[in-house]
């Protein structure tokens, strides 16, 4: 894995952890709780959520628009537990 990929991955995970800590957005905690209740490990849940964050960040950068909390919340809602 390239160092830049690891840096981006780590930044996304840090952001998700911060969202869980602050409760902002509330959909982050709800998603984390839903995934872990469905049997995902804490790490798996965080990775899935970080992927959703990365999708929204990529959209934002590609379109040159602000981060859209509603779109991010919709992405979080679409996450299905791995193997579920």
pLDDT tens per residue, range 10-47: 999 999 999 999 999 999 999 999 999 999 999 999 99
Q: What is the pLDDT of residue 7?
A: 87
pTM score, two decimals?
Answer: 0.89
Quick check: helix, strand or coil at residue 83?
coil
72: exposed, middle or buried (Cβ count in 10 Å: 0-12, 13-18, 19+): buried
Convert the pLDDT of each residue in 40-78 to its tens digit: 999 999 999 999 999 999 999 999 999 999 999 999 999
The per-residue pLDDT for 1 is: 53
Domain boundaries along the sequence of the chain: 3-78
């Amino acid at each position: 894995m390239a160092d830049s990929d690891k840096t981006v991955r780590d930044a996304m995970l840090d952001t998700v952890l911060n969202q869980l800590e602050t409760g902002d957005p509330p959909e982050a905690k709800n998603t984390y709780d839903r995934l872990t209740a469905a049997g995902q490990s804490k790490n798996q849940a965080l990775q899935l959520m970080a992927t959703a964050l990365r999708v929204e960040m990529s959209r934002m950068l590609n379109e040159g628009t602000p981060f859209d909390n509603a779109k991010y919340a919709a992405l979080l809602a679409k996450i299905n537990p791995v193997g579920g």
